[in-house]
Amino acid sequence: MDIRIVKIGENSQDYIEIGCHKTDENINEIVSFIKSRQGAVEGTKNDRQYQLPVVDIFYIESVDDRTFIYLEKDCYESRKKLYEFEQVLASRRFVRISKAVIINLMKIVSISPALNGRFLCKLTNGEEVIISRKYVPDIKERLKG
């Protein structure tokens, strides 16, 4: 496999591009490794532990004192509390949108009004999550920064 490193301008974002004939196990492994280098959190599903790449997380929700991590299709449980995730992921494009949910801003497609001063954000996997009015100013501030 040929490996090429291309220098890009200072104003451009770093990126990794993989050229391949088809996405096989090897390619998925490389992608998982690259993603894990950008940070991962531990999650449990069916009594098995997994390292979940932060960039793949859609949102994290706290329900009845239990914390769940949602990826595109799967859901994992975590022992960490929501506020712990909030602290850890604050610098990773995550923001609190309600009392029980922290969301990955990179996974939101659009925001629309819901009832009672709340908003509904549509995610790239088609799911919809409610934004509480209380957190709207924080989200605005975060998007500016």
Partner 1 sequence: MKDRIKEIANSYFISVTLINAAIFATGMIFRPEQTFGYDAYLSPLILGFLTLIPTLITYSSKELTIRQLLFRKAIQLLLDIVIVIAVIFAESEINSETVTAAIGVSVSIVIVFAAVHVIEWTLERRTAKQLTEQLAEFQQRNSS
Q: Give the residues lining the site for partner 1 (CB under 8 A).
A: 13-15, 93, 98-100, 105-106, 108, 110-117, 119, 130, 132-134, 136-137, 139-140, 142-144
Q: Please, which residue, 11 or 46, has the CB nearer to partner 1?
A: 11
In terms of CB distance, is 30 or 136 closer to partner 1?
A: 136
Report, in Å, the least distance between residue 121 CB and partner 1: 9
**Least distance from C-beta 111 to partner 1, angstroms?**
5
Residue 128: CB minimum distance to partner 1, A: 9
Nearer Cβ to partner 1 (21/115): 115
Contact of 20 with 28, CB cutoff 8 Å: no
Cβ burial, residue 43 (10 Å; 0-12/13-18/19+):
buried
Nearer to partner 1, 46 or 91 (CB): 91
* The total number of residues written for the chain in this structure: 145
Q: What is the distance in angstroms between the CA of the first residue and the CA of the last residue of the chain? A: 40
Radius of gyration, alpha carbons of the chain:
17
Q: Measured from the CB of residue 64, what is the shortest distance to partner 1 in angstroms? A: 11
The 10 Å CB-count burial string (b at 16+, else e) for 103-133 is bbeebbeeeeeeeeebbebebeeeeebebbe
